[in-house]
Structure 1
Amino acid sequence: MSDVIPKECSSRQYHDSDLSFNWETMVFFSQCDAVNKNLNLNELLKLTSDVAVEDFNRRGMSREVLNENGIAILVSRDSFRFHKFPKENQKIVVRTWEEKSEPLQFVRAVEIESLDGEKLVSGITAWLLIDLNQRRIMPIKKFDSMGLRTPTEKKTEHDCLPFGKIQIPEDMTLWDERVIKYTDLDANGHTNNSRYAAFAVDALPEQFQSKVFKDFRINFAKEAMLGQKVKVFGKIEENENKLFILGKAEGETSFEVELCW
């Protein structure tokens, strides 16, 4: 087998003059759903997390450097609006940049466009800084005092829903159960954030699994650990064109999802 990457599948990564990080890539068939050939929600989370991590890497904040300083950066909340779903074999640009931080979380914007500039997805995400020694959230100011990054005051307008608390209804119905397996874990040994989106979609009633949604919000609460059973609850609110999903592990909230159409 040739080790030459075909030109049409090649990717390019670079920073713009405004320090936004760009990743030109392609949507592969393995990343898409079986009905619409659209990028899966869990693959969207993989893509947007990976581009954020690579941005940190190139700015001197690799996972190794952070670990040496007793720090981890974990995604906490994501909100995305779909103007047009990225599709199988489509060449895209994923663009991300940091915005002005909140006291206890980084704020990061993300956009996905076609190579000819058509807006496909826009999003805003929140990331927590974890003190690995104290096992608690670290204030962003304390991190900035370490000199690992230059804070930004940048703030832009976003057309997606704001990240924030998801108002989960009380009368949820059990939709699915699953156990956290080895392949759900990432290189940190944690259940990868993208897996929770897969759990949510797999739990949906069949007629909603292929539905083209307009907005997607997911909040991460407590990690589901290897071997734990995750119970996935849901509720559809047809009159409001939205549905809610709640994942619980050992009786505690693991993740929350809101999907709107």
Structure 2
Amino acid sequence: MATGVYTAYKKDGTEYYRVSLTCQNKHISLGSFDDYKTAAAVYSEANAIVRDEKSSHFVNAAEKITSYSSCTSALAFEKFMILLNLRDNNIYIKTPVYLCDKYFLYFFSPEIVLTFDIEDLFYYSGHKIMSRGGYFFVNDFGMQTSILARFGIRSHSVKGKDYLFRNGDEHDFRYSNVAIVNRYNGVEQIEKNGRILYKTRIHINGNYTIGTYTSENEAAIAYNRAIDLLAEQLPDFKNYTRNYIEGLSHIEYASIYNTVKISRRFRRYIEQLGLTY
């Protein structure tokens, strides 16, 4: 039996092989396999990685690995990256992270590499990133949470409209690269006659414009007021998510709330529902 390969048995008595490696006083599981030949190859390749010095045939992770298949044929890519980071940076992290200066790379696959600020290392060292429909998420307290939520980006936000990547790289999640254009529910930043304005809409069997405002706070509060007006007669609107505006006192919020203007079209719609102001 090769070093690092251990025989185990399933509940039905079927034999399989567990593979593990000890490096820098860390016991690292490399997986379970049905055949001995694959298990032995996994251990051999993993051992070669951690014993080898930084050499040309192991591509520098910061340059995005393009030759993973030439480095290993049996070892899983995730394990490959974990071992590579351990070898080069002397730190064991159980997710496929590679540490760089002031940032780190998360190797989702050999083709997809995500970049994060170093302050996010603790979080992503304990949360595995997954993907569906082009969006990345983690399981957090039993819930699927978009990694964009850490920037305050809402789940239904649209890339290029509500948020954007300043350098054009949609895999660069450093805080300096992610710009939030529209922070609040129902609020969209627009440009008119060279001025930045904020248009507020609400969706009720179609989009209704609540108004256009000169400040983002006013637009966000207008959305809240529209929900409150509708909720007086339509219970379903009580469940709509209202905007929380940071940096405003209760008095400042109330002042804007009581004076914010609502469009005539929206007022007429409410009147048709039998609501009154």
Query: Shorter-chain TM-score: which interval?
Result: under 0.3
Greater relative contact order (CA < 8 Å, ≥ 6 in sequence): 1
With normalisation by structure 1, the TM-score equals 0.23
Report the structure number with the largest CA radius of gyration.
Answer: 2
- Normalized per residue, the structure richer in helix is 2
